[in-house]
Amino acid sequence: MQPGLSQTTPRTRVGAEARALWALGLPLVGSHIAQMLIGVTDTVMMGWYDVTDLAAISVSASVFFIIFIFGSGFAWAVTPMVASAVAGDDERQVRRVTRMGLWLSIGYGLLVTPIFLFFEPIMLAIGQDPEVARQAGRYMPYMGLGLIPALLVQMFKSYLSALELTRAILFAVIGAALLNAPVNYALIFGNFGAPELGIVGAGIASLASHTLSLVLLAAYALRKKPEHELFKNFHRPDPEAIAAVFRLGIPIGLTLLAETGLFAASSVMMGWLGTIPLAAHGIALQITSVSFMVPLGLSQAVTVRVGRAAGRKNGDELRAAAVAGLLLSGVALVLTMAAFLLLPEYLVGLFIDPTDPDRPQILTVGVTLLMVAALFQLVDFGQVMALGALRGVQDTRVPMVMAIVSYWGVGLPVAYVLGFVLGLEGAGIWLGLTVGLSFACVGMQWRFWHMHAGAAT
């Protein structure tokens, strides 16, 4: 327990937790945004290079993110496990769960490699435009090479976050994002004497960025915490630890997959409407993904703070951390909704060459999608903060079921009905996403506050 925390009033305790969350979460938010900028840079430069390549990278990025986010469930599991071990001063357990988390990340990356190598026939099988499929097939092998580095980056981010060492995460990922932009500029357009590789150049740039992030974070972790000896006898399996990380990580991965898979399915449905709607959808999705990094970073900080409080069996501190997280995310929510409602044309226009003949059509569709996105930010922010708190108390299985039912049992069918049966097209698809997120938000918030916060003493 923090000194004097039990003697404070509830309001003061929430204020103290808000300050702690801000200090812990701000670098995480920055690092998530910086990492997202790698994909955003690809999308912006592809939009200025070729609309077909933009459509290809939109679908490819969605699929990559699905595969990545499921595999990162192991990293998200490591956060509360390490936080709990730190609270109990158990350095051996810190080492065990982190090391086996790295094992699981590498194994998963190898398992899914064939998807990246045979992406063009997969795209054709799900009804995408042949030229879009061909370009996506050229891009995805390089993203496949970058998957394991990206997963290991996530693992080191989770490990360092649980130790409340988040500034290094921010600096490492910013460095990688800064590398990505000039490499993209050189390899996509053929600048600085480099060959003009188009969409392939974007893939190479992303691979280089993920690799740099991994090198920097691994080096920092080894230097900052040599007593954890993360790579000593790395080849030795630890069945008990790997089973523990797997049991906690699989439900987290499936929960993440349920949501991101919903958005990827929406990309497929947008592809059925044509290249212009798909390109606009990709732009709007990139914009909303960047804004989502704010509550995502705060949610990860809430996981750490709630996990520490749960490890100390301090119910007041647990509740204060959750309330503080909601207050901070609420401020971000107001700012995000204002931007989407007041500046949609400006935001979408950043991604399109002013001379592109398709620009007016893409702007029209993209602006409509951002207006709908302003609505679903409300429930999206709410559900991710609830998930962060639930992970802090290592409650992952029931939230997984809630997510699957909400997104796939409710959200996807509603999106199809609104988009195609009722003829609302892109706006209807995005309204369906909002309905699914609403169900998840209400269910997960109820579970945390009634099953955990209310029962904590």
**Cα of 208 vs its chain's centroid, Å:** 19
Contact partners, residue 256, CB within 8 Å, separation at least 6: 69, 70, 72, 73, 76
pLDDT at 1 over 50: no
pLDDT digits (tens, 9 = 90+) for 237-289: 899 999 999 999 999 999 988 887 788 788 889 888 888 888 888 888 888 88
pLDDT at 3 over 80: no
Model pLDDT, residue 456: 56
pLDDT digits (tens, 9 = 90+) for 407-439: 999 999 999 999 999 989 888 999 998 999 999
pLDDT at 7 over 50: no
Give the DSSP per-residue string, 127-187. T--HHHHHHHHHHHHHHHHHHHHHHHHHHHHHHHHHTT--HHHHHHHHHHHHHHHHHHHHH
Stretch 168-190: mean pLDDT: 89
pLDDT band at 220 (very low <50, low <70, confident <90, very high): very high
Model pLDDT, residue 350: 85
Lowest mean pLDDT among 3-7, 152-156, 209-213, 297-301: 3-7
**The two three-digit tokens of residue 194, written as one number:** 């480099």
**Amino acid making up residue 77:** A
pLDDT at 35 over 90: no
Residue-averaged pLDDT of the chain: 87
Model pLDDT, residue 32: 79
